[in-house]
Chain A
C-alpha cells in the first residue's frame, strides 16, 4: 500500500518497532525556547542526566519574553542560556540575534525536507511547510529528545486537503487557513497530520506555506505538511548548495518524500478558494469566523507579528496599505518583525518608516503580545485585531478579545479604527502585482 509524506518520513526514522502503540523514531533536530525547556533541563539535572544527544542538532532561542521583563522571565532565560553554553550549543540565539522560533529557525536553514523535528511548542507544525515531520511535545518527551534524540509517537495518519482555484486580490494565506479551520473545526484533525496540496500550494511562496502549516494545530492536527518542490529548494539553496550539483539534483533527492499515488488518507477534502473572502475570527475559538466585511467591531489595538504573520512578505503587504495613511487616533498599532533579518530588510526597504509614519510602534523581534506576556498586553474589555494564531480567552491579556486576521486586514482595520475588509484599502499599484 502507498504511503503519505508523514509515513515515508516516519518509516525512514523508526529505530524501535517493538511496541504496538508507540514507535520510537530518530530526530534530526530538537528546537528549544525559554518557556518550556527550563523545566526539562531542571528535571534532567535532578536525574543526573544533564547531557545532550548532539549539540549540533539542538537549536535554541530566547524568544517569548525578550528582553526579560521581570525576575521570573529573567530566570527562565538564564537557565536556558547557561544550559546552551554549558553544552556548547552553537546555534543559540539571544538578544541581538533572537527572533520568533518558527520564523527564525527556517530562515537560518535548520529545516530540510524529510526531517523529524520536535519542540516544546504546539506551533512546531510550522516546519512542515518544508516537507518535514515536525510537532510539539510535552516536557518529558522534550527531555528525551534532548538527551537521546528520539521520540515515541504513534504511527501517523493523514488528512489530505487539496486547494484549487485562484485567490482573489486582497485574500491571503491567512484567510485560507482560517477558512480551512472553520470547515474542519478545532477538533477536525485531532491525532492526524494535514497534508496540503493543489495549485494554490504550488503557487504559494514558502512564507505563505508557513502561515498555512503554522495553524494546522488550531484544527487539532499533529502537524501540517506541504510536499517539497522547487520553491523549497530555492528557499534553502544557500544552505544546501554544497550538498548537490545543482537545484534539479536537490529536487530529485527531496522528491523521495512525495506521497505515493495510492497513499491512504483518513479523509480527503477539496476546496476551491476562488470565491473565498477575507475572514476574521470571533469569540474564543479559531474555527469561529465571519467575513471581515460583515464585522463592525471597534478596535483598541492592531498587532502585526508572530510566527504566523511576522515575516517580510507580511510586512510588505501591510506597508503597501499603510503608505501615506494614518491609523485611527484611538488605535495602538504595534509591529513586531519576527526576526532580526526581517527587521533589517524592512528597514532597508523603507517599510519601518512607513509603519512609523502611519502611527505604528516597532518593537524588537519577540513573541511578546501574541501570548499576552509583554509588549502589548490588553486590558479587560479591550479589543485587538491581530495577525497571530490564537484567540483563546485571555490569550493577549485577561479579559481582552482577540480577532485573528491577515496582515492586510490588521492594518486596514488600524486605519479604519474598526475591523474592515482590506480590499478597498489596497492601492491600484498593488492590484497590478
Chain B
C-alpha cells in the first residue's frame, strides 16, 4: 500500500484537464520517472509557477470540480505518483482519470462541493496544511497549527481493495 497524506497543495480551479497535468508531448516516455519534472507544467492558474514549486514536499492535492477531464492518458496520475502525491481530493473527477488513479493504487476522493468550499476557505491561504488519512474508518484530518478538523469520505469496495493492494496490478496478482 502507498503512503497517503502529507502536506497539501491547493489548486483553486475547476476543470483542470490532463493536458495541464502532463502535456501530450511527454506521452512517448516509456518510464514514469521522466514525467516527474513536468507535473502541472501547463496549468492555467493565477500566480502558479510550477518551476518554483518542489512538488516532492507535498503528499496531497485539493482541487475543484471535474478534475482530470480530457484524454485517457494514464500518465496524468503517474505524474502525481512519481512526485509522491498519492491523494487527490475534488468535488468530482472525470471518470477515466478516477479509474486510472485507483488502478495505480492512489486515492481520488470526492467530497461535496460545500465541503470543498469550506476546506478552501479555512486552509487554502495557509502554509503547512497537513492531511492525515485513515483508510480503516475512512476519515481524513486536515490540520495547521491553529485549526484542525476531521471529515469522513467513502469508497466503493473495489476502490478500497485497489488502494489496499497498491493498485489493480497488485490486487489482480494477489487475487486471481
Which A residues form the contact surface with B (CB < 8 A)?
A: 15-16, 18-22, 24, 38-39, 42-44, 46-47, 49, 72, 75-76, 79, 138-141, 143-144, 147-148, 150, 152
Interface pick from B24-32, B52-60, B83-91: B24-32
Check B158 against A152 for contact (C-beta < 8 Å): yes
Check B100 against A138 for contact (C-beta < 8 Å): yes
Does chain A have a CB within 8 A of B147?
A: no
Check B31 against A144 for contact (C-beta < 8 Å): no
Chain B residues with Cβ below 8 Å from A20 are 156-158
Given the complex of chains A and B, what is the CA–CA distance between A22 and B103 in angstroms? 12
User: Nearest Cβ distance between residue B22 and chain A, in whole angstroms?
Assistant: 13
Chain A residues with Cβ below 8 Å from B156 are 19-22
What are 26 residue pairs bridging A and B, where the CB atoms are less than 8 Å apart in the complex?
A: A15-B176, A18-B157, A19-B156, A19-B158, A19-B161, A39-B31, A42-B31, A46-B32, A47-B170, A49-B169, A49-B173, A138-B96, A138-B99, A139-B74, A140-B74, A140-B103, A140-B167, A140-B169, A141-B168, A143-B168, A143-B169, A144-B172, A147-B169, A148-B176, A150-B172, A150-B176
Q: How many A-B residue pairs have CB under 8 A?
A: 66
Nearest B residue to A139 via CB reads: B74
**Known contacts A72-B28, A143-B168, A148-B173; 18 further A-B pairs (Cβ under 8 A):** A21-B158, A22-B156, A42-B30, A43-B169, A47-B169, A49-B169, A76-B30, A79-B30, A138-B72, A139-B74, A140-B103, A140-B104, A140-B168, A140-B169, A141-B103, A143-B169, A147-B173, A148-B176
Which B residues form the contact surface with A (CB < 8 A)?
A: 28-32, 72, 74, 96, 99-100, 103-104, 156-158, 161, 167-170, 172-173, 175-176
Given the complex of chains A and B, what is the CA–CA distance between A38 and B29 in angstroms? 10
Check B28 against A22 for contact (C-beta < 8 Å): no
Check B100 against A16 for contact (C-beta < 8 Å): no
Contact residue among A19, A39, A148 (Cβ-Cβ distance under 8 Å from B172)? A148
User: Nearest Cβ distance between residue A48 and chain B, in whole angstroms?
Assistant: 10
Chain B residues with Cβ below 8 Å from A138 are 72, 74, 96, 99-100, 103
Given the complex of chains A and B, what is the CA–CA distance between A418 and B31 in angstroms? 44
Chain B residues with Cβ below 8 Å from A139 are 74
Chain A residues with Cβ below 8 Å from B32 are 43, 46
Chain B residues with Cβ below 8 Å from A38 are 30
User: Nearest Cβ distance between residue A298 and chain B, in whole angstroms?
Assistant: 30
Given the complex of chains A and B, what is the CA–CA distance between A15 and B175 in angstroms? 11
Contact residue among A22, A49, A76 (Cβ-Cβ distance under 8 Å from B158)? A22
Check B157 against A16 for contact (C-beta < 8 Å): no
Known: A19-B156, A150-B176. A75 touches B30 (CB 8 A): yes
User: Nearest Cβ distance between residue B156 and chain A, in whole angstroms?
Assistant: 6
Known: A39-B30, A72-B28, A138-B74. A19 touches B157 (CB 8 A): yes
Q: Indicate the member of B28, B32, B99, B172 with the most A CB atoms within 10 Å.
A: B172
User: Nearest Cβ distance between residue A285 and chain B, in whole angstroms?
Assistant: 15
Chain B residues with Cβ below 8 Å from A22 are 156, 158
Known: A42-B31, A150-B176. A144 touches B169 (CB 8 A): yes
User: Nearest Cβ distance between residue A203 and chain B, in whole angstroms?
Assistant: 35
User: Nearest Cβ distance between residue B84 and chain A, in whole angstroms?
Assistant: 16
Nearest A residue to B103 via CB reads: A140
Chain B residues with Cβ below 8 Å from A150 are 172, 176
User: Nearest Cβ distance between residue B93 and chain A, in whole angstroms?
Assistant: 14
Contact residue among B30, B104, B176 (Cβ-Cβ distance under 8 Å from A24)? B176
User: Nearest Cβ distance between residue B154 and chain A, in whole angstroms?
Assistant: 13
Given the complex of chains A and B, what is the CA–CA distance between A72 and B34 in angstroms? 15
Given the complex of chains A and B, what is the CA–CA distance between A18 and B161 in angstroms? 11
User: Nearest Cβ distance between residue A339 and chain B, in whole angstroms?
Assistant: 26
Chain A residues with Cβ below 8 Å from B31 are 39, 42
Given the complex of chains A and B, what is the CA–CA distance between A38 and B28 in angstroms? 10
Given the complex of chains A and B, what is the CA–CA distance between A193 and B55 in angstroms? 41
Check B30 against A152 for contact (C-beta < 8 Å): no
Chain A residues with Cβ below 8 Å from B173 are 49, 147-148
Given the complex of chains A and B, what is the CA–CA distance between A116 and B158 in angstroms? 22
Chain B residues with Cβ below 8 Å from A15 are 176
Nearest A residue to B74 via CB reads: A139
Nearest A residue to B28 via CB reads: A72
Chain A residues with Cβ below 8 Å from B74 are 39, 138-140
Chain B residues with Cβ below 8 Å from A76 are 30
User: Nearest Cβ distance between residue A239 and chain B, in whole angstroms?
Assistant: 28
User: Nearest Cβ distance between residue B75 and chain A, in whole angstroms?
Assistant: 8
User: Nearest Cβ distance between residue A140 and chain B, in whole angstroms?
Assistant: 4
Nearest A residue to B156 via CB reads: A21
Known: A79-B30, A138-B72. A147 touches B157 (CB 8 A): no
Chain A residues with Cβ below 8 Å from B157 are 18-20
Chain A residues with Cβ below 8 Å from B104 are 140
Given the complex of chains A and B, what is the CA–CA distance between A150 and B173 in angstroms? 10
Nearest B residue to A15 via CB reads: B176
Chain B residues with Cβ below 8 Å from A46 are 32
Chain B residues with Cβ below 8 Å from A44 are 169
Given the complex of chains A and B, what is the CA–CA distance between A141 and B157 in angstroms? 18
Q: 8 nearest interchain CB pairs?
A: A140-B103, A19-B158, A139-B74, A144-B172, A148-B172, A22-B158, A148-B176, A38-B30
Chain A residues with Cβ below 8 Å from B30 are 38-39, 42, 75-76, 79
Chain A residues with Cβ below 8 Å from B175 are 16
Q: Indicate the member of A44, A49, A75, A139 with the most B CB atoms within 10 Å.
A: A139
